[in-house]
Amino acid sequence: ECDAGAYQGKSNQTACEACVRGHYCEEGAPVPTACAAGSYSNASDLKSQAECTVTDAGHYSTTGSIDQTVCSPGTAAPNASMGMCDKCVGGKYQPKLGAKRCESCLLGHYCPQGASRPVACPDGTYSKVTDPPSKGACTPTEPGHYATAGSEDQTKCSPGTVAPNASMGVCVRCVPGTYQDTPGQTECKACRPGFYCQEGASA
């Protein structure tokens, strides 16, 4: 029989062959056996699965690997001996290589499954939610308010501007001949007799 760490799969041979990298060969092996997922080896004389090296946290290896592979952005491996990295769940993200855990999404953003970076809520929406998994968690602004992309909250329109509709990313300036002296309004007021009002007038 071939000694452990070698194999022979052919008939009528006079010598055994060295085991294959990423595999081990028990005594009398006709073929090499692959190191299990979550382990690897660059050696060619392994005698058992116990001699395969387990992966580190933040890494993975598939069956028969000769080395471990670092987890890509958007994934993490919290434990050793992992055959694949876990995708970040919705509401989490990971921008780095070789992560052990995913990060919480940022306010004003959302993070779909497997996100490598947070996605900003679009103009006209905002989010105070922790760990939102989708754009549906972004809240439309109310009339009289606006929100730029990535906002954590809506903001009242300043005097001289208005937001007649919901979901506005910017307030519009009052046209000449009108004004608005109160924040958070939906329409401008007509200028008063004896006065004039330039564009964006607050008084």
Strand 59-60 to 69-70 pairing: antiparallel
Can you tell me the distance from the alpha carbon of 113 to that of 130, in angstroms, rounded to the nearest whole number?
15
Classify the C-alpha dihedral 58-88-115-125 as positive or negative: negative
DSSP 3-state of 61: coil
Query: What are residue 137's phi and psi, to 5 degrees?
Result: -80, -10
User: Distance of CA 192 to CAs 93, 186, 198, Å?
Assistant: 54, 19, 12
Mean pLDDT over residues 165-188, rounded?
97
Q: Residue 126: its pLDDT value, please? A: 97
pLDDT for residue 130 is more than 90 = no
Tokens representing residue 172 in the block:
């519009």
pLDDT digits (tens, 9 = 90+) for 63-110: 999 999 999 999 999 999 999 999 999 999 999 999 999 999 999 999
Cβ distance 157 to 179 under 8 Å? no
* Percent of the chain clearing pLDDT 90 (strictly above): 99
Instruction: Give the tokens for residue 75.
Output: 């994934």
Mean pLDDT, residues 122-141: 94
The encoded tokens of residue 57 equal: 């946290």
Q: How many CB atoms lie within 10 A of CB 120?
A: 18
17-42 average pLDDT score = 96
